[in-house]
């Protein structure tokens, strides 16, 4: 039986065109229908609307996201933290916005026991990082820098940013949203106000969860990844050059989490790495340490490492006086 090469090629081209059309259609639906309802998109939208008035900006990952309620602050503040975000992604986001926030005085960065762990860098290979391409946070020069760290993975991430079909995890999320959409169910998981994600006031603190999370974050004892440290330095220098003060914050954790995390990285080792280093310490205006503030008060936590709404309310009220004092000090600086 003879095969007609032209017919085969025509079939392949038709199939390819159909695939590209579906790829683009799924990407279009996700970007304009589902993505705007995500916590990430609503957080960014809220910030875009207020960025010219923001004076205090909270950055980081989920511990910051669930700990700070900006409306409690006496100065215009915003919580731009993103669950899972590491300091590499934080740098790109801040670099994109810092010149668009003319009244920004303070950037609050998280400094917890796992901030510089290798696992934090591995997050770049996850499904969430594609959003940083979609939102334009990563320039061509940034792309080249990331390629040195990630290799071809950064190319894959860039391609995956065009459509959920190119990433299995995002495609599962897309299917879930389609089902909700068809059934007329709300796409929003919760409300977002000034970047704070309103979660539950329940407490589900379990020591087993603390062990699992610590093992997920830390690969070895005194795990300080050189690339994550490098981008931490970039953030500090960026803020210094723009006249923005950096305040580092260690948010509260449960005693379960602290006990198991300090088997790998102690608070003393972390602080020595940061505050005794000439690379970092000159650029940090002040550090606020509340790691064990509510360690045994499990009712204030949703799980072993995140404050619930009740805990965030109490903690934010405490931060008011501390940040107000710092802001008053800054105002007196010539």
The answer on pLDDT for 126 being more than 70 is no
Q: How far apart are CA 206 and CA 255, in angstroms?
A: 11
Do 60 and 235 meet the contact criterion of CB atoms below 8 Å apart?
no
The CATH homologous superfamily to which domain 40-331 belongs is: SGNH hydrolase (3.40.50.1110)
pLDDT reported for residue 334: 76
Buried b (16+ CB within 10 A) or exposed e, 60-90: bbbbbbbbbbbebbebbbbbbbbbebbbbbb
Averaged pLDDT of the chain: 92
pLDDT tier at 125, thresholds 50, 70, 90: low
pLDDT tier at 168, thresholds 50, 70, 90: confident
* DSSP string over 158-200: HHHTT-GGG-HHHHHHHHHHHHHHHTT----SS-EETTEE---
pLDDT tier at 193, thresholds 50, 70, 90: very high
Structural domain boundaries in the chain: 40-331
Do 253 and 210 meet the contact criterion of CB atoms below 8 Å apart?
no
**226 Cβ partners below 8 Å, 6+ apart?**
none
Do 79 and 70 meet the contact criterion of CB atoms below 8 Å apart?
yes
pLDDT reported for residue 122: 74
pLDDT in tens, 281-328: 999 999 999 999 999 999 999 999 999 999 999 999 999 999 999 999
Q: Half-sphere exposure of residue 94, counting CA atoms within 13 Å on the CB side?
A: 34
Q: How far apart are CA 112 and CA 274, in angstroms?
A: 11
pLDDT tier at 220, thresholds 50, 70, 90: confident
pLDDT (mean) for 53-74: 96
Q: Half-sphere exposure of residue 88, counting CA atoms within 13 Å on the CB side?
A: 25
Place of tokens 């591995």: 122
pLDDT reported for residue 2: 57
pLDDT tier at 128, thresholds 50, 70, 90: low
């Amino acid at each position: 039986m003879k095969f007609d090469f032209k017919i085969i090629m025509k079939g392949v081209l038709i199939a390819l065109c159909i695939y590209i059309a579906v790829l683009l259609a799924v990407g279009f639906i996700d970007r304009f229908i589902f993505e705007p309802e995500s916590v990430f998109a609503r957080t960014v939208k809220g910030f875009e609307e207020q960025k010219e008035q923001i004076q205090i900006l909270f950055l980081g990952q989920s511990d910051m996201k669930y700990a700070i309620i900006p409306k409690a602050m006496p100065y215009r503040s915003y919580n731009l933290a993103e669950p899972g975000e590491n300091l590499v992604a934080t740098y790109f986001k801040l670099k994109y916005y810092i010149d668009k926030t003319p009244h920004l005085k303070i950037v609050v960065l998280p400094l917890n026991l796992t901030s510089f762990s290798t696992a934090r860098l591995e997050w770049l290979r996850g499904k969430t990082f594609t959003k940083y391409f979609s939102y334009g946070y990563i320039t061509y020069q940034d792309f080249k820098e990331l390629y040195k760290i990630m290799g071809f993975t950064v190319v894959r991430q860039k391609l995956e940013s065009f459509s959920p079909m190119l990433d299995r995890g995002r495609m599962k999320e897309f299917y879930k949203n389609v089902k909700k959409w068809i059934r007329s169910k709300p796409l929003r998981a919760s409300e977002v106000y000034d970047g704070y994600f309103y979660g539950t006031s329940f407490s589900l603190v379990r020591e087993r969860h603390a062990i699992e999370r610590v093992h997920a974050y830390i690969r070895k004892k005194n795990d300080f990844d050189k690339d994550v440290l490098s981008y931490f330095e970039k953030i500090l220098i960026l803020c210094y050059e723009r006249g923005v003060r950096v305040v580092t914050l260690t948010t509260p954790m449960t005693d379960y989490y602290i006990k198991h995390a300090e088997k790998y990285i102690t608070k003393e080792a972390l602080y020595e790495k940061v505050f005794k280093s000439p690379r970092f310490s000159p650029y940090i205006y002040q550090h606020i340490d509340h790691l064990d503030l509510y360690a045994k008060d499990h009712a204030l936590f949703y799980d072993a490492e995140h404050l619930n709404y009740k805990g965030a309310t109490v903690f934010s009220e405490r931060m008011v006086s501390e940040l107000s004092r710092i802001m008053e000090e800054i105002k007196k600086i010539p």
